[in-house]
A and B are shown apart, each in its own frame.
Chain A
Amino acid sequence: MKSLLLEIFYILAGLVSIIAAVYALKDDKHPHRKETALFWFLFGAIFIVGKYIPAPIVGAMLLLMGVLTAMKRVTFGSLANATDDMRQKSANRLKNKIFVPALTIGVIAFFVAQVFKSLGGLVGLGFGAVAATLIALVMTKEKPKQFGYDGSRLLLQVGSASILPQLLAALGSLFAAAGVGEVISSGIAGVLTEGNILGGVIAYCVGMAVFTMIMGNAFAAFAVITAGIGMPFVYAMGANPAIAGALALTAGYCGTLMTPMAANFNVVPAALLETKNKYRVIIAQVPIALALLATHIVLMYVWAF
């Protein structure tokens, strides 16, 4: 039941991507409309029929998508939002009712995960999204076609970065297959004595923060550090995986707060706000990031074991 429902939702998600490809292709003012459309078409196709294609071909499709983004051919184009004036008018008309469909997604996702445990949060997300769409359809009185347009607008705006979590997971698999985790853990093993849980927790949390500071991306760090440090020194010692995993990732975010490598969060906003000191955002965040990192270590040690 669960896998059937999920498969249906994957097909719907693939359709969202393919519709975006169609809108990109129809966008006359788009400088790279064919390449952009190809990117989203491939992504959608992987969702809909990827299961039935041999894996190496899916891998090759992803490399092709990588070539398209490397050449900067996957871009936004010119799908317009409603004008400021129209949006403000609509906001005044709908008032706080406008939050209802948006909150529906999270509430239903949680409800399904909590009550129908066998279905899980992902099926819940699917139901939540469908329910929210129906509520919005009635509430805003927009035509169904408009939903396709605005979904495409959003997807093209977020752009190729939306496939990044999946690619990083694939990178994690490759690192694991190539034995990267062993290299890191054998390096750490020289410092830590076996069975030293506190040492393992510190190495995991600080490793996440430091590695995130170097790479500028906690998601990428998570795959590497979890395989190299988390597995042998924390999970293998009997840590609750949900708690240790959740805390490890946010420990990485403490690193994100302190590094100029996370340019989108720290350097670009400083430029946007025209600060005199270009590290002003990082300076503001360092004390709280360090306090939070220490808290992560304590919490993981006390709560996960």
Chain B
Amino acid sequence: MIKLIGVLIIVIGFIMKFDTIAVVLVAGVITGLVGGLGFVEILTIIGEAFIKTRYMSLFLLTLPVIGILERSGLRERAADLIRSMKSVTTGKVLTTYHIIRELAAAFSLRLGGHVQFIRPLVNPMAYGAAEKNFDEVDEETEDIIKGYAAGSENLGNFFGQNVFVAAGGVLLIVGTLGELGVEVTPLAVSKASIPIAIIALVYSAIQNYMLDRKIAKKLTQKKSGKPAAEVK
């Protein structure tokens, strides 16, 4: 049981918000020591594993071009595209963002983020759609929309990223299994990640549709203006 002390250190370190890198290193060294390894042996294992897993950091190669594209307005263009969408209902805005986010993640594009997209763009559009269709949007509904908006970023990000053949998660799977003596290629893992990416999108679309219905039931539809037929 004492060998689980490393896990405990990680949990405590994360709760106390200590520096993640330092927490992981301390957990590793102490686990090694209680597991009966010598200090030099521990350094050897860390060093060897780090050299062997250099491929996990090959994304460094993509930074110069992504950096230039950011300078040239990559985010701005993506934002323009989302904005040009004929805004309809809250749920449709969120599902559309989920699709874009998931596709971007599958292509290793750093498009998205709570700071860059959800606060300035997606949440205002989702809220705006509710405002356009209904008389008055109460505070609780506004809060719920915020929660869903932030969630669409997480869902699109998490379940899309492993479709990319050199994603951090894919390489971690290949590396961890390799350490344990199971051979598997990054391409096979990325292909195996496609079904759950699609399923996550379908579930999210259903949840967003149900959100639309919930909002429609709760709020009174505007009599004038846009027909509320969009919101079933």
Contact = CB atoms under 8 A, between A and B. Distances in A.
B14 A257 contact: no
Interface string B133-146: 00000011001101
B204 interface: yes
Contacts of A55: 43-45, 47-48, 51
Nearest to A114: B187
A226 B67 contact: no
A287 B147 CA distance: 13
Given A88-B73, A171-B24, A147 B65 contact: yes
B77 A91 contact: yes
Contacts of A175: 6, 28, 31
Contact of A9 (B21, B24, B58): B58
User: Main SS of the interface on chain B?
Assistant: helix
Given A177-B45, A178-B32, A219-B169, A169 B179 contact: yes
Nearest to B171: A165
A261 B15 contact: yes
A155 B1 CA distance: 39
B54 A50 contact: yes
Contacts of B129: none
B165 A132 contact: no
B139 A276 contact: yes
B91 interface: no
Interface in A222-244: 222-224, 226-227, 231, 235, 240-243
Interface residues of A, number: 154
Range for the number of chain B residues in contact with chain A: 35 or more
A178 to B, nearest CB: 3
A77 interface: no
Interface stretch (A26-34, A97-105, A193-201): A97-105
A71 B39 CA distance: 22
Centre residue among A110, A146, A152 by max chain B CB count within 10 A: A110
A86 B108 CA distance: 25
Interface in B121-176: 123, 139-140, 143-144, 146-151, 153-155, 158-159, 162, 164-166, 168-176
Nearest to B166: A125
B31 A178 contact: yes
Interface of B: 1, 3-4, 6-7, 10-11, 14-15, 17-22, 24-29, 31-32, 34-37, 40, 42-51, 53-77, 80-81, 106-109, 114-115, 118-119, 123, 139-140, 143-144, 146-151, 153-155, 158-159, 162, 164-166, 168-177, 179-180, 182-193, 195-196, 199-200, 203-204, 207
9 contacts: A56-B40, A102-B66, A103-B109, A106-B108, A142-B68, A146-B68, A166-B57, A285-B154, A291-B203
